[in-house]
Amino acid sequence: MPLELDLGPAAEKFRGELRDWLEANTPAELIGMSADMAQRADLPAVKAWADTLSAAGYMCVSWPKEYGGAGLTGVEVAVMNEEFARARVPRVTRGMGEWLVGPSIIVWGTEEQKKTFLPRIIDGTDRYCQGFSEPDAGSDLASLKTRGVIDGEEVVITGQKVWTSGATAANMMFCLCRTDDSAAKHAGISYVLLPMFTGDGAPNGIELRPIKQPHGVSHFTETFLTESRAPVTNIIGGMNNGWRVTMTTLGNERGGHATTQHVEYTKQFWEAVELLRDKGRTGDPIIRQELAWAYSHVEIMRFQGLKVLSEVVARKEPGPAASINKMFWSEYAQKFTERMMNARGAEAMLIEDGTKGRYVADRWTSMFFQHRSSTIWGGTAQVQRNIVGERVLGLPKEPDPSKK
């Protein structure tokens, strides 16, 4: 049995209310749906569930009440994740809008921007994708070249982004562009909420070219911006102050799922045990060793998640320690799915899907492919180690190669 924490009477009262609500409202067709499927906002059942959650006040729950959220504490969010897992129903969210953009607007936006943009995330009107990375600006994001030129009341953006996840399902991009060429690298950047379409539904100077991944899907795109326009009132945190806003966004990207991930990984762990037991492999001492390793890692993730979240709640912004979280879960997921490939042996190979020469990956093999990227997106594992070394442990800064 996992060690349980006593979360206190307020959290347990919330748990009871939520459990009753879930028992009364969970649609049967969603029970057992995988986290991947639950991301598919185009599925009618997922969309209907998102609308039900939104109407009941269970969307963007950690945002303050005054901005349409539920003002839940970190502990209550943790309880919520546990209860959704217990009911075996996905906790559908508003994706990057809820997780990355909203919290950055709450910290850096004007009152007017909060009133304009936050309700549109909560009710699902605006679906965001992240326009940060460029062909020559990934880990060194501040060297980005996409330009933003002020033209009257608008900022006009031209350049190229890459690895834009979920772009084909989005109607808004939170986009970084250089608005002052003469300033130091980190100083001349602005953070713009860029509409992807014009009022008449035509692309707003944006061309998306999907990138094919090894397991057959195209989760992200190359994104070309040619004179894409946004009102200057869509610049968050002020002109040329985008780097500060970016730090808030990236802090949430690295630490923001701290309470969620152990729930999914615990579920995945027990599914792995069941699968290997069915195949009669749980008597193998090497497999037993691997499973014990995985179980202890998932438990550490649970405690680490609660620790990061309490820091987030107290300081309102995730600090550099969020990088420990990103490093831990991404490296675990990569090793675990790799070990499952080994444990499954020949069964883990790609199978022909009925058409000669066309191969598909099953769920476990897909997860293995998918997690190759987990130590890259949101900042690579090496970059997280630099952040932990310099900003958490106070070690000397790495040498700047341009100053050799």
Ligand X SMILES: Cc1cc2nc3c(=O)[nH]c(=O)nc-3n(C[C@H](O)[C@H](O)[C@H](O)COP(=O)(O)OP(=O)(O)OC[C@H]3O[C@@H](n4cnc5c(N)ncnc54)[C@H](O)[C@@H]3O)c2cc1C
Smallest separation, CB 93 to ligand X (Å): 16
Instruction: Determine the residue with CB nearest ligand X.
Output: 138
Helix (H) or strand (E) holding 113: helix 111-122
Q: Which two tokens stand for residue 176?
A: 């970084």
Q: Which two tokens stand for residue 145?
A: 């070249």
- x-or-dash string of contact with ligand X, 133-172, rule CB under 6 A: x----xx-----------------------xxx-------
- x-or-dash string of contact with ligand X, 107-136, rule CB under 6 A: ----------------------xxxxx---
Burial 376-395 (b: 16+ CB within 10 A, else e): ebbbbbebbebbbbeeeeee
Task: Give the dihedral sign, CA 394/399/403/404.
Answer: positive
Smallest separation, CB 126 to ligand X (Å): 16
Smallest separation, CB 380 to ligand X (Å): 3
Tell me, by CB under 6 A, how many residues bind ligand X: 20
Smallest separation, CB 337 to ligand X (Å): 14
Q: From 370, 290, 302, select the one nearest 330 (Cα to Cα).
A: 370
Smallest separation, CB 389 to ligand X (Å): 10
Q: From 40, 59, 46, select the one nearest 122 (Cα to Cα).
A: 59
| Distance between CA atoms of residues 306 and 300, nearest Å | 10
**Residue with Cβ nearer ligand X (83 or 264):** 264
Is residue 39 a contact point for ligand X (CB under 6 A)? no
Q: Which of the residues are catalytic?
A: 253
Residues 371-390 that bind ligand X (CB under 6 A): 373, 376-377, 379-380, 382-383, 386
**Residue with Cβ nearer ligand X (165 or 171):** 165
- x-or-dash string of contact with ligand X, 185-224, rule CB under 6 A: -----------------------------------x----
| Distance between CA atoms of residues 349 and 298, nearest Å | 26
**Residue with Cβ nearer ligand X (61 or 129):** 129
What is the distance between the terminal CA atoms of the chain, rounded to a whole angstrom? 55
How many residues appear in the chain? 404
Smallest separation, CB 145 to ligand X (Å): 13
**Residue with Cβ nearer ligand X (45 or 247):** 247
**DSSP annotation string for 98-143:** IIIIHHHHHHH--HHHHHHHHHHHHTTS--EEEE--BTTBSTTGGG
**Residue with Cβ nearer ligand X (34 or 139):** 139
Helix (H) or strand (E) holding 115: helix 111-122
Q: Which amino acid is at 124?
A: G
Q: Which two tokens stand for residue 44?
A: 């009618």
Q: Which two tokens stand for residue 206?
A: 């944006």
| Residue appearing with tokens 């539904």 | 201
Binding site for ligand X (CB under 6 A): 129-133, 138-139, 163-165, 220, 373, 376-377, 379-380, 382-383, 386, 398
